Amino acid sequence: MAETTESAAFVEFERVQKSYDGEILVVKDLNLTMPKGEFLTMLGPSGSGKTTCLMMLAGFETATHGEIKLDGKPINNIPPHKRGIGMVFQNYALFPHMTVAENLAFPLEVRKIGKSDREAKIMRALDMVQMGDFGGRRPAQLSGGQQQRIALARALVFEPELVLMDEPLGALDKQLRETLQFEITKLAHDLGITVVYVTHDQTEALTMSDRVAVFDDGRIQQLAPPDQLYESPQNSFVAQFIGENNTLQGVVKEIRPGGLCTVELDDGEVIDAKAVNVGGVGDRTQVSIRPERVEYNRDRLSDDAHTLKAEVLEFIYMGDIFRTRLRVAGKDDFIIKTRNAPDQQRLTPGQQIEIGWLPEDCHALDA
C-alpha cells in the first residue's frame, strides 16, 4: 500500500456530476484535488456550479455521478453532521434565542464533548475572532460584522480540518469585508485548516486564496494561483471574468516557434501575441491585454514594444492612477491604466497618441 505523503489529496472530486432534473448537468465531470491546509476559492458567475460543488462536499446535495473523498475516504453516503466539516454562510445562521456562548456550545454538545472542555474550546474560538467579551450577548445585540465573526468561531470551535464558506462576507460593507478577508486568511493559515471558499467577487478570490478554481457552465475553466490566473488566462472567459481586460478580434496569420503568433486585427493592423489558446493559421482569435500593461509614454516603451495608433476619448483622474478610454483598431472601449507619476503626461479627449505593449503581455485566445 502506498504511503500517504504530506501533499496527498485531502479533498477529492472524481468525475463528479450533478443534475436536478435528470437532463441538464449543473456540474459536469468535475475532477479536483486539494492538499491539506490549502485555501481554495471557487469563483464564478451565478449558476456556474460553484455553490452546488460546495453543497455536495458539505452533504446537503448528493452527486448524481462520481465520488467525493475526504482524507482518502468516500463520503457520498455520509450525512452532513457526520462529516466533521465546519460551515460559514452569508446569512450567519446563528440561533437567535441562544447567547453567543450557547451558539458555540451547540456543535460541541452534538459531539458529546464534556462541559469543562466545552468552555475552554468556546473561549479559545471567541479569542481567535477577537470576540472574547461577547459570550453572554444574543445575536440581535451584535452588528453584522460581529455576527459573522461568531459564525466563523462556531465553525472553528470543534476544530474541524475542513471549513466551507459560502459568500460569508457578501452582506458586509467594503471596509469590513477587507478587514475580515485578511483575518480569515491569516486564521486559516495559522490553524493549518483546509478551506473551500465560494464567492463571485474576483478581488476576494485573488487576495485570499492559494489557488482559485474559475467556474463557468458547470466546469472549471482554469485552476491556478491568483497571479497566474490574472497574468496568464487560459481562455477568453477567464481573461474577461478576472480583472479588467481589453480585447481585439482578428485572424491568426502565422504561428512561430517560441510561442508567439502574428494576428491580423479586423481593421487590418498586424500585431504579435503569445499563442495561448489558438487553433491554426486562418482561425479567428481574441487578443487579450491588461490595461496596466499598455503604455503611451514614449520614454517608457521598450524597443520590443508593439505600437498602435489611438484616439483619446476620455481621461479620468483617479488619484493614484489615470484611467484613459481610447479608440483603438476601430473599438471605443480600450482602457489603459497608468500610474500617477510626475513624468506621466496627462491626456485630453480628441488627442491622437501612440500606445504600445510587449508581445508577451498580449495573449491570443479562443475567439
Q: Report pLDDT digits (tens) over 64-122.
A: 999 999 999 999 999 988 898 999 887 768 899 999 999 999 988 888 888 888 889 99
Q: Closest Cα partner for 308 from 322, 287, 277?
A: 287
Mean pLDDT of the region 9-31: 94
Contact 168, 90 (CB under 8 A): yes
Mean pLDDT of the region 167-185: 87
Q: Set out the domains of the chain in order of their start, with CATH numbers.
A: 9-236 (3.40.50.300), 244-366 (2.40.50.140)
Contact 195, 161 (CB under 8 A): no
Contact 135, 102 (CB under 8 A): no
Handedness of CA 205, 206, 208, 212 (dihedral sign): positive
Q: Report pLDDT digits (tens) over 264-296.
A: 999 999 999 999 999 889 999 999 999 999 988
362 pLDDT above the threshold of 60: yes
Task: Give the pLDDT of residue 145.
Answer: 87
Task: Give the pLDDT of residue 3.
Answer: 37
Task: Give the pLDDT of residue 4.
Answer: 38
Contact 316, 322 (CB under 8 A): yes
Q: Which helix (H) or strand (E) holds 26?
A: strand 25-35
Task: Give the pLDDT of residue 122.
Answer: 92
Mean pLDDT of the region 119-128: 90
Taking 3-state DSSP, the helix, strand and coil percentages for the chain, each rounded to the nearest 5, stand at 25, 35, 35
Mean pLDDT of the region 179-196: 92
Task: Give the pLDDT of residue 258.
Answer: 85
Task: Give the pLDDT of residue 210.
Answer: 97
Task: Give the pLDDT of residue 2.
Answer: 37
d(CA 325, CA 181): 32
6 pLDDT above the threshold of 50: no
Q: Closest Cα partner for 225 from 216, 235, 213, 234?
A: 213
237 pLDDT above the threshold of 70: yes
d(CA 326, CA 333): 6
Mean pLDDT of the region 301-329: 90
Other residues' Cβ atoms within 10 Å of the Cβ of residue 127: 12
Buried b (16+ CB within 10 A) or exposed e, 29-51: ebebebbbbbbbbbbbeeebbbb
